[in-house]
Amino acid sequence: MQHFAALAESVQNRLFHLRPEVLHHTSDPGLLAVALGATLYSPGSRDGLAKGLLKQARAGCMSAVICLEDAVADDELPGAESNLLAALRELDAPDVRAELPLIFIRCRTPEQLLDIGRRAGESLHVVYGFVLPKFENETGRGRAFLEALRLLNLETGRGTPETPVLRAMPIIEDLSTTHLESRVRVLTDNLALIEQFRDLVLCVRIGATDMSSAFGLRRSRDLTIYNVKVVANIIGDVVNIFGRPKDGWVISGPVWEHYVNTERVLRPQLRATPFEAVNEGALRQRLLLENLDGLIREIELDLANGLLGKTVIHPSHVPVVHSLCVVSHEEYLDALDIAASAGGGVKASSYGNKMNESKPHRAWAERTLLRARAFGVARPGVNFVELLEASMR
Work out the burial of residue 344: count CB atoms within 10 Å of its CB; fewer than 13 is exposed, 13-18 middle, 19 or more buried. exposed
Report which residue type is found at 220. S
> Cα(359)–Cα(345) distance, rounded to whole angstroms?
7
Mean pLDDT for 284-303 is 76
> Cα(98)–Cα(22) distance, rounded to whole angstroms?
12
Q: Where residue 284 falls among pLDDT bands split at 50, 70, 90?
A: low
> Full-prediction pTM beyond 0.85?
yes
Mean pLDDT for 134-142 is 95
Mean pLDDT for 371-391 is 92
Tens digits of residue pLDDT in 61-80:
999 999 999 999 999 999 99
Helix (H, G, I), strand (E, B) or coil at 241: helix
Helix pair 110-120, 141-156: axis angle to 10 deg: 20
> Cα(237)–Cα(227) distance, rounded to whole angstroms?
16
Comparing CA positions, the residue from 309, 295, 284 lying closest to residue 392 is 284
> Cα(105)–Cα(166) distance, rounded to whole angstroms?
11
**Which one has a higher pLDDT value, 220 or 239?**
239
Comparing CA positions, the residue from 226, 384, 252, 393 lying closest to residue 320 is 384
The proportion of the chain whose per-residue pLDDT surpasses 90, expressed as a percent, equals 75
Say which range, 26-30, 175-179, 374-378, 388-392, has the weakest mean pLDDT: 388-392
pLDDT at 269 over 70: no
> Cα(189)–Cα(201) distance, rounded to whole angstroms?
15
> Cα(53)–Cα(69) distance, rounded to whole angstroms?
18
pLDDT at 341 over 90: no
pLDDT at 354 over 50: yes
- Residue 99: per-residue pLDDT: 83
Please tell us whether the domain made up of 24-326 is placed in CATH 3.20.20.60. yes
| Ramachandran angles phi, psi of 286, nearest 5° | -65, -45
> Cα(105)–Cα(168) distance, rounded to whole angstroms?
10
Mean pLDDT for 131-158 is 97
Say which range, 125-139, 178-192, 277-291, has the weakest mean pLDDT: 277-291
Mean pLDDT for 335-344 is 85
- Residue 270: per-residue pLDDT: 54
List 367's β-bridge partners, or say none. none
- Residue 291: per-residue pLDDT: 61
* CA gyration radius, the chain: 21
What DSSP line would sit under 366-391, residue for residue? HHHHHHHHHH-EEPTT--HHHHHHHH
Mean pLDDT estimate for the chain:
90
| DSSP-H helix ranges across the chain | 9-15, 29-35, 49-59, 77-91, 94-97, 110-120, 141-156, 175-178, 180-196, 208-213, 229-242, 273-277, 281-289, 293-304, 318-325, 329-340, 358-375, 384-391
**Which one has a higher pLDDT value, 287 or 254?**
254
Is there a contact between 282 and 388 (Cβ–Cβ < 8 Å)? no
**Which one has a higher pLDDT value, 389 or 262?**
389
Mean pLDDT for 286-296 is 68
The proportion of the chain whose per-residue pLDDT surpasses 70, expressed as a percent, equals 92
- Residue 266: per-residue pLDDT: 44
